[in-house]
Amino acid sequence: MLTFTPIHPTFGAEVHGADLATLTDEGLEEVKTAIAKYGFLVFRDTGLDDDGHVAFSKRLGDLDNIARFLTPGRKMRYNHIELFDAGNLDNDGNILDPDSPRAHQGKGNGIFHVDSSFNPRRASYCLLRSVELPPDGAGGNTTDFADSRTAYDALPAELQQQLLANNYVGRHCIAQSRKLGDPEFYHDLDPSTQPHMRHHILQRHEPSGRMNLYVGAHLHRLEIEGQGLVDKDESDRLIREINAHVCSAPFVTSVTWKQVGDIIMWDNRAVQHRAGEGSYAGKYKRDMRRTTVHDDSPTAWGLNATTTAMPGFVYDPTGGNTTGAISADLSAPAVAVHS
């Protein structure tokens, strides 16, 4: 029997009594029921290593992997293709040079976003695990969450009516959030030229039956289904307004990573998240690894063909052997030299 301590009045809970290495099927069902309600769950001091992290995640569905980013130039620090590297370590396990393209790329994670909304098939759950944390007081010890379901409920009536009356589709691309996170570095990158993946911005969250605003930092442009693109200025204005609303104080909370082995699990169809602020960059290691579960709900693929390959991300304006911004040929693996 698991117990849950709520974190915020409307979402989030810390889980007690769950040993993820030995969790029974009944326990797993309790976790699924709880995350449908709370949107994200915090498991303290799980004791899981890479194997255990991946094994538990696999019980939740098919996992995404980083195969499309692996090139001869990219060395893995660990042996699990299912583990995304969300930390600040380079290939050799040293602190990433803050001037490296990968460090610039990571800055976009500091803006509220939904993982994989730029993919044709979106993600349901993510499980992020702390492997090494900066010392107390150095920053980098928090991840923030925004309750996009409650934000929908609390939309100003007029805006909610507008969203309900128009079948808005969001066009997402990773270039959008990278540029927002580091406008200077990505000065010459034009997100409008990048491959866009399309998902409705208003969606019912299947496990809870609640409506959700599926927006966030990767959202580049709105269209109205059947009518085409919304005027650019109007689209920009609306995206800014909706994102600002979701990420406003009443719907946001912050979780502190307390020790190595903590895991936060979130449902990308119900919440947004961002890396908390910190001045640890370039000074301290922050090793975070993440599994990503492919959504298997009816809306997983949004308006994208189920044959669409996952896009990669390649960008190095300083030169190097990259061939351009992002591989526009979605059938080809990205030549990810630095990401």
Quote the least distance from Cβ 116 to ligand OGA, whole Å: 9
* The one among 57, 109, 235, 253 contacting ligand OGA by CB under 6 A: 109
Exposure pattern of 46-74 as b/e (b: 16+ CB <10 Å)?
bebebebbbebbeebeebbbbebbeeeee
Q: Which residue in the set 35, 96, 131, 275 belongs to the binding site for ligand OGA (CB under 6 A)?
A: 275
**DSSP 8-state secondary structure symbol assigned to residue 95:** B
Would you count residue 262 as binding Mn ion (CB under 5 A)? no
Q: Within 286-305, which residues bind ligand OGA (CB under 6 A)?
A: 288, 290
> Alpha-carbon torsion 280, 283, 179, 195, what sign?
negative
Touching Mn ion, residues 169-198 (CB under 5 A): none
Q: From the CB of 315, what's the least distance to Mn ion, in Å? A: 18
Q: Least Å distance between CB 286 and ligand OGA?
A: 7
H-helix or E-strand spanning residue 284: none
115 versus 295: smaller Cβ distance to Mn ion: 115
Residues 154-183 that bind ligand OGA (CB under 6 A): none
Judged by beta carbon distances under 5 to 8 A according to partner kind, the member of ligand OGA, Mn ion, none in contact with residue 88 is none
Q: Single out the segment in contact with Mn ion by CB under 5 A; choices: 7-15, 49-57, 107-115, 325-333.
A: 107-115
CB of 273 to Mn ion, least distance (A): 6
Radius of gyration of the chain (CA): 19
**Signed CA dihedral, 215, 219, 221, 226: sign only:** negative
Alpha carbon distance 243, 255 (integer Å) = 20
Interface size with Mn ion, residues (CB under 5 A): 1
Question: Which of 30, 115, 147, 267 lies at the binding interface for Mn ion (CB under 5 A)?
Answer: 115
Residues 199/169, Cβ–Cβ less than 8 Å: yes
Rule CB under 6 A: which of 134-153 touch ligand OGA?
Answer: 143
Interface pick for ligand OGA out of 83, 86, 201, 211 (rule CB under 6 A): 86
Token couple for 20: 């993820």
- The C-alpha atoms of residue 254 and residue 135 are separated, in whole angstroms, by 18
**Rounded distance between C-alpha atoms, residue 265 and residue 291, angstroms:** 9
Binding site for Mn ion (CB under 5 A): 115
